């Protein structure tokens, strides 16, 4: 990642709730710019975003509370612009400019 950041990056909002914010510096809303393409040159999708979050944003050592076997842990809901990601192609969904991606845990105390 170098040079002209603007056309090489997609601005998005990533939110964590339901207890997940605790893993992400206790911050619910994160404004991020993620690369437009993944390492293989394919458009960045949610699978890539999750990996990106783990490498760049998730500082808590308990990464397994967020990902399990390389994908979002069962019990964590993913909403893409308020829609269940299962309606949007799950982790294959290609991220668009200004998307809002919400990860909400159902696992924490009720």
Per CB under 8 A, residues contacting another protein are 17-19, 22, 62, 64-65, 73-75, 77, 79, 82-84, 86-89, 93, 102, 104-110
| CA–CA dist 29, 69 (Å, integer) | 25
CA nearest 109: which of 15, 19, 25, 21? 19
Collapsed DSSP state (helix, strand, coil) of residue 55: helix
CB of 60 to another protein, least distance (A): 11
Q: Which residue has the tokens 């206790």?
A: 26
Q: Which is nearer to another protein, 10 or 65 (CB)?
A: 65
Q: Which is nearer to another protein, 5 or 60 (CB)?
A: 60
Pair of tokens at residue 10: 């997609």
Q: Which is nearer to another protein, 4 or 26 (CB)?
A: 26
């Amino acid at each position: 990642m170098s040079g002209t950041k603007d056309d090489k990056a997609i601005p998005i909002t990533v939110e964590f709730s339901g207890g997940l914010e605790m893993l992400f510096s206790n911050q619910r809303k994160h404004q991020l710019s993620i690369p437009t393409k993944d390492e293989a040159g394919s458009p960045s999708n949610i699978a890539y975003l999750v990996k990106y979050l783990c490498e760049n944003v998730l500082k808590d050592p308990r990464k397994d509370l967020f990902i399990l076997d390389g994908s979002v842990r069962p019990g964590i809901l993913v909403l893409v612009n308020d829609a269940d990601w299962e309606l949007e192609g799950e982790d294959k969904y290609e991220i668009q400019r200004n998307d809002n991606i919400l990860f909400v845990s159902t696992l924490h105390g009720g």
